[in-house]
Structure 1
Amino acid sequence: MVTPSQTLHLHRSVASRSLGPWPGLLLTGAIAAVAFGLRQIPGLSLLSPMILAIMIGIGFHNLIGTPARAKAGVVFALRRLLRAAIVLLGLQLTAAQVAEVGAAGFAVIALTLVATFTFTVHLGRLMGVEAKLAELIAAGTSICGASAVIATNTVTRASDEDVAYAVACVTVFGSVAMFLYPLLPAVLGLDAHAYGLWAGASIHEIAQVVAAAYQDGQAAGEFGTIAKLSRVMLLAPVVLVLGALASRRLRHGGKGAASAKPPVPWFVLGFIAMIGVNSVVTIPAEAKAALVWLTTFLLSMALAAMGLETDIAKLRAKGPRPFLLGLAAFAFIAGFSLMLVKLTD
């Protein structure tokens, strides 16, 4: 016999399914909107709305609890909206911008990325940090912060707690770089071009690069931004390579691997296609500004969803080793890129 409580639960389940993803999308959208609003407060404007969104999401989940009816929308934001945002991210880049960096500058950026990613993954293994978490910290540090973490996780497939931890690491150390770097050009003997290249090749988030590079003047700011956007472009080949490696591991992973679905990051091809479109089609300034805003908002919704799936107790259980790995990765990328900038200057 069906009890009244079971009947009520059944009715709620049916109602939740009939609403589909909308409750979760409304919740993640509201969190993203609050994150954008908080950036109007002095001091918080230096933080990306993506970072604020994941912080709010984590707070909401752990203090109030994510409603069961929001689950479908949260998952939708984590998967579909995230991929759409990464595709749109390609519209912020052109082939001409990459050309402005020059062969030497692009070599500095690419070598720094590869060396930092490799160093972080291997050091993580030596420190006993979980391989997937080390890979996410490596991606966030070497490419473009939180965006790279969540894009890389589409093929790494780590837990939400791993993603939140990696985002926290790259946020903390990217923020340190944002305040520290502007104090160093004169000390290190860097002109505007060299300083901009150093900032663009090594600071984690785009917003952090802009904030740090423009402190040394307009020329340093513009070149730092272009260098950083060229680095963001390398997100596509990195995710494709990681996806291929993950597929290979699945094929040779033993029992059960044959039936596993290998991750194919098709959205990365969309990202590359959008770079091509932006290189040959002139998008009006107003439309481009709206697309930049939309991309950031969608990424903020995805990170809000990540926060709504993150348990602080599980983060705590990971201990300090991943954080120390993030510190070591930050020190490495700063030192290695500076060495290359000096050699090519």
Structure 2
Amino acid sequence: MSANDAATVTHPKRLQNAAALLPGLGLTVIIGAVATGLHELPGMGPLSPLILAILLGMAFNNIVGTPAAAKQGVKFALRRILRFAVMLLGLQLTLAQVESVGLGGLAATLATLGATFFFTLWMGRALGVGRSLSALIASGTSICGASAVIAADAVIGGEDEEVAYAVACVTIFGSISMLLYPILGAAMALSSHTYGLWTGATIHEVAQVVAAAFQGGEAAGHFGTIVKLTRVMMLAPVILALAAFWVREKHHGDPDVAGPEEGAAAQSRWAHIPWFAFGFLALIVVNTLFPLETTAKADTAMVTTFLLAVAVAAMGLETDFRKLLAMGLRPLILGAAAWIFISVTGLGLVTWLS
């Protein structure tokens, strides 16, 4: 077969593959758009488009049913769109934000994040919660809520029901923090600096931090938001560490292989490297050296949130309520334990180090 003949055969096949993605992509985009619109309604601000998108996707799948024709596009959204959107989060951050937090605030934030992550993994083992689900709850609680859950799942490869459960945990307990922190901060007479640092270092979602931090005044609100964004920067190193750990565990105990098998094992390891995490870090550097204008930054943030909502809608479209309920209460107890740990530990470290 000549090169021209091969190109003639390949071109229609590519068009056919692209066309197969359209039903699923169309469905996820519609759900993402509806979730984004609902977020703008009065009283819906604390619920991010990501939370609304996964709820809508789950409702659609369990009431109507995700059509077979949509499956391929849904999987594309789960993989490609998800990784691209996580990478774009880097354009919302700069290295200057880390500097503005100060050494004490940065130390308190990192110590709280690391302690919470490892405590949650340990507690998950003690409660008998699956390794993947424990890691997803640990990521969401310690870093940045639903965004961290879905980013971690990109390297862990957990069940969609596990992702949905982890998102539910960080949403519930982050929302409780959003309502409870202003009351506790006033009762303890925390300064604006300490209160803002506490909210940014411990509350799950960015939107929840903003809502809680500004209850302590404008200074607390701005500082809490900066601290939270600094915490989001830790998404990339944690994801890279998770990827290395998961591959090591997968190959642990395997006998040495040689020849083609060794090559296949190496290829498998390369396949598990989360290249999007390096893209995330690279875009932080780009945004530090060439900062986006205010309007461009707001537009980029809107596009990024929408793409994440599309990816999360895809997760909802593959989530089965029956499997979700079968997981029981143990993961919820784990989420509660992780929430209490990060809240108390974070307050102690913030008070001591800041």
Shorter-chain TM-score category?
Answer: over 0.9
Tell me the distance in 1 between the aligned counterparts of 2:205 and 2:74: 24
Give per-residue Cα distances to partners, 1:271-315, cap 9 Å, x unaligned: 000000000103121111110000000000010000000000000
Match of 2:202 in 1: 202
Tell me the distance in 1 between the aligned counterparts of 2:41 and 2:95: 36
Q: Which amino acid aligns with 1:300?
A: A
Tell me the distance in 2 between the aligned counterparts of 1:284 and 1:40: 24
Tell me the distance in 2 between the aligned counterparts of 1:273 and 1:51: 27
Match of 1:8 in 2: none
Match of 1:270 in 2: 279
Deviates more, 1:249-258 or 1:142-151: 249-258
Query: Is contact 2:141–2:338 with CA below 8 Å preserved after alignment?
Result: yes
Match of 1:38 in 2: 38
Decide whether aligned partners of structure 1 residues 18 and 245 sit closer, same or farther in structure 2, where only a CA change above 3 A counts: closer
Q: Say which SS state the counterpart of residue 25 (structure 2) adopts.
A: helix
Give per-residue Cα distances to partners, 1:76-124, cap 9 Å, x unaligned: 1111111111111000000001100011101011000110000000011
Identity of aligned residues (%): 56
Tell me the distance in 2 between the aligned counterparts of 1:282 and 1:16: 40
Q: Which amino acid aligns with 1:341?
A: V
**What count of residue pairs does the alignment treat as equivalent?**
331
Q: Which amino acid aligns with 2:81?
A: L
Deviation, structure 1 residue 16:
8.1
Q: Say which SS state the counterpart of residue 102 (structure 2) adopts.
A: helix
Q: Which amino acid aligns with 1:243?
A: A
Structure 2 residue 341 is the aligned partner of structure 1 residue 342: no
Tell me the distance in 2 between the aligned counterparts of 1:16 and 1:66: 21
Runs of 4+ in 1 over 4 A off after TM superposition: 15-18, 255-260
Deviation, structure 1 residue 253:
4.3
Decide whether aligned partners of structure 1 residues 169 and 67 sit closer, same or farther in structure 2, where only a CA change above 3 A counts: same
Q: Say which SS state the counterpart of residue 197 (structure 2) adopts.
A: helix
Q: Which amino acid aligns with 1:311?
A: D
Tell me the distance in 1 between the aligned counterparts of 2:18 and 2:139: 38
Give per-residue Cα distances to partners, 1:40-95, cap 9 Å, x unaligned: 33221210000000000000000000011111111111111111111110000000
Match of 1:80 in 2: 80
Deviates more, 1:183-192 or 1:269-278: 183-192
Give per-residue Cα distances to partners, 1:146-181, cap 9 Å, x unaligned: 010011111211111101100000000001101111
Give per-residue Cα distances to partners, 1:173-223, cap 9 Å, x unaligned: 001101111112221231001000000000000000001001111100000
Q: Say which SS state the counterpart of residue 111 (structure 1) adopts.
A: helix
Match of 1:284 in 2: 293
Q: Say which SS state the counterpart of residue 43 (structure 1) adopts.
A: coil
Tell me the distance in 1 between the aligned counterparts of 2:17 and 2:201: 46
Q: Which amino acid aligns with 2:282?
A: A
Structure 2 residue 282 is the aligned partner of structure 1 residue 298: no
Q: Say which SS state the counterpart of residue 310 (structure 1) adopts.
A: coil
Tell me the distance in 1 between the aligned counterparts of 2:346 and 2:86: 26
Taking the TM superposition and a 5 Å limit, the aligned residue runs for 1:145-294 are: 145-254=145-254, 259=264, 261-262=268-269, 263-294=272-303
Query: Is contact 1:16–1:69 with CA below 8 Å preserved after alignment?
Result: no
Match of 1:332 in 2: 341
Deviation, structure 1 residue 22:
1.2
Q: Which amino acid aligns with 2:220?
A: A
CA RMSD across the alignment: 1.6
Q: Report the TM-score, using the length of structure 2 for normalisation.
A: 0.91
Q: Which amino acid aligns with 2:321?
A: I
Tell me the distance in 1 between the aligned counterparts of 2:18 and 2:287: 39
Deviation, structure 1 residue 18:
6.4
Tell me the distance in 2 between the aligned counterparts of 1:217 and 1:90: 27
Decide whether aligned partners of structure 1 residues 219 and 18 sit closer, same or farther in structure 2, where only a CA change above 3 A counts: closer
Q: Which amino acid aligns with 1:134?
A: S
Q: Say which SS state the counterpart of residue 83 (structure 2) adopts.
A: helix
Query: Is contact 2:240–2:277 with CA below 8 Å preserved after alignment?
Result: yes
Decide whether aligned partners of structure 1 residues 18 and 140 sit closer, same or farther in structure 2, where only a CA change above 3 A counts: closer
Query: Is contact 2:107–2:353 with CA below 8 Å preserved after alignment?
Result: no
Tell me the distance in 1 between the aligned counterparts of 2:158 and 2:40: 33
Q: Which amino acid aligns with 2:183?
A: L
Match of 1:7 in 2: none
Deviation, structure 1 residue 17:
5.1
Match of 1:122 in 2: 122
Match of 1:51 in 2: 51
Taking the TM superposition and a 5 Å limit, the aligned residue runs for 1:57-72 are: 57-72=57-72
Q: Say which SS state the counterpart of residue 20 (structure 1) adopts.
A: helix
Q: Report the TM-score, using the length of structure 1 for normalisation.
A: 0.93
- Which structure 2 segments of 5+ residues have no match? 1-14
Match of 2:101 in 1: 101
Tell me the distance in 1 between the aligned counterparts of 2:160 and 2:345: 30
Give per-residue Cα distances to partners, 1:292-342, cap 9 Å, x unaligned: 000000000010000000000000000000000000000000000000111
Deviation, structure 1 residue 254:
2.8
Query: Is contact 2:48–2:207 with CA below 8 Å preserved after alignment?
Result: yes
Q: Say which SS state the counterpart of residue 204 (structure 1) adopts.
A: coil
Match of 2:135 in 1: 135
